[in-house]
Amino acid sequence: MTRLFMLLALLSPPAAPLPAAPPDLDAVRGWNEAALAAVRVQRASDSDAARTYAMVNAGMYDAVNGIATARGDKIRAFALRDAKGAPAHGDQQAAALAAACTVLSRLYPTQAEPLRERLEADLARLGTGPRVAAGRAWGETVGRDIVSARENDGSSPVESQPAGTGPGVFGQAWSGVQYRNMRPFGIADASKYVGSGPAPLGGLDYAAAFAEVALLGSAATPDADKSAVFQYWSLPAGTAQPPGEWIKVALNVDRPLPLADKTRLFALLGMTLADTSIPTVMTKYTYRHWRPQAAIQQADTDGNPNTPQNGDWKARAGSPGSSPEYISGHSSFSGAGAAVLAGFFCADRIPFTLVTDSAPVDPATGQPWKRRFPGFSAAAADAGRSRVVGGLHFSFSNVDGLSMGQDVAAEVLATRLLLKSGPTHVGACPR
């Protein structure tokens, strides 16, 4: 019988190759751009935005990985939805498109109609037939299950921490603190990444950081270059937020990837950014540290003889900041994003060009400032430093924030979306 089966296999025609997607159809790029646009329209917070990017990209990854698993390709761990029910004959691009649209439409129902119109247009470019139909149906199933898996994850309802009082304490109420309790996407325990705290008010390290931001971050000291760098990375409400800029960085990396690898990269990136928001909010909630503007204006109350009080001091940013100072969220998100990309590509020094959502206009071109960075960590350092020259953070909050993001990324890269058998890592690079 075995010989008969072997003979029949040799005589049988080979399976028809899977039809290729249109060369210019890129589900990962198109639907990450849709997610960025949805976040802008929604005016989402940084934590809300990061959660959105994580869910959209986990959906695309699980949809593509499920079909690969059903086919018996290299089997990887899933993000949020296992491969049960995945059609081996399904079109993976169709699955990714449908999963992303389903997640976004359910997260932002007021934007559902244009999102569905975009989906229909994308699917039409794939053509008709059972493969596309099966991929779409599977992707929609995955998308629904992703949203269900993240219901009651602690990201809502919105909670606030009331204003504090006294030296060193942030003096405003701030919202979004429920994110300190959000269930992680990829890490085991967010509390282990909470920062060790700001420099003590009475110490020399605090006085040194105080003197630095008092000089570099002062609105009374004009410096066109520092103001431009601050604005470039400012990313207020109505932008894609700091996590979104790292999605954009990944989109701008000139390293072509197969669909399976590309969905994995963006799922790792999205989950890491979302998980970084948890210890960031935990840390802010725990320490409630005052921003430089309050610190400098009220320096006569801090008990430190090396911090001169200046009641007229204003931050270069034009506002004092809307959440506690320690830790810098721009820095933690940037440390996380840079570390995922460097880990995935096994290289940090990969040049890329980026125009942020808040980039100032370049007088030489009349266009938003397009900057070329030599690598991921260089961009992260620039983003973190922008908060100091903007007068919004002390340097210790930037340094600790970058480290926090790097540490969260290291855990996600080491433990998530790995091959189920065989070697999974080469050094720090996920395989």
Distance between CA 168 and CA 299 in Å, rounded?
A: 9
Cα(57)–Cα(239) distance, rounded to whole angstroms? 19
Bridge partner residues of 169 (DSSP): 289
DSSP string for 342-381: HHHHT-S---EEE--TTPPEETTTTEE--EEESSHHHHHH
34-to-101, 114, 168 alpha-carbon distances in Å: 9, 10, 41
DSSP string of 57-118, one letter each residue? HHHHHHHHHHHHHHHTSS-B--SSS--TT--TT--HHHHHHHHHHHHHHHH-GGGHHHHHHH
Q: What percent of the chain has pLDDT over 90?
A: 90
Question: What domains lie within the chain, and their CATH numbers?
Answer: 12-149 (1.20.144.10), 160-430 (1.10.606.20)
Farthest CA pair distance, the chain: 92
CA distances in angstroms from 215 to 168, 279, 356, 385, listed in the order given: 19, 30, 26, 14
User: Which residue is listed with tokens 């950014």?
Assistant: 273
What is the pLDDT, as a whole number, of residue 422?
73
The SS3 assignment for 224 reads helix
Give, as one character, the DSSP assignment of residue 169. Answer: B
pLDDT at 356: 98
* CB 310 within 8 Å of CB 214: yes
Helix%, strand%, coil% for the chain, nearest 5: 55, 5, 40
Residues of the chain with pLDDT under 50: 1-19
Element (H, E) at 425: strand 425-426
Beta strands in 235-384 (DSSP E): 352-354, 361-362, 367-368, 371-373
What pLDDT digit, counting tens, does each position of 131-144 carry? Answer: 999 999 999 999 99
Which pLDDT value is given to residue 426?
A: 52
Q: How far is CA 187 from CA 61, 106, 229, 327, 333, in A?
A: 18, 25, 32, 19, 15
Query: How would you class 321 by CB atoms within 10 Å of its CB: exposed for 0-12, middle for 13-18, buried for 19 or more?
Result: buried
- How many residues does the structure list for the chain? 431
Question: Rounded to an integer, what distance in angstroms lies between the CA atom of residue 398 and that of residue 390?
Answer: 12
Count Cα neighbours of 188 within 13 Å in the Cβ-side half-sphere.
Answer: 5
Distance CA 328, CA 389 (A): 13
User: Tokens 């949203």 label which residue?
Assistant: 147
Q: How far, in Å, CA of 237 to CA of 235, rounded?
A: 7
Give ∠ CA 407-279-350 in degrees, rounded to 5. 40
Rounded distance between C-alpha atoms, residue 38 and residue 263, angstroms:
19
Strands (E), 266-370: 352-354, 361-362, 367-368
Q: Kindly state the tokens that stand for 343.
A: 């880990």
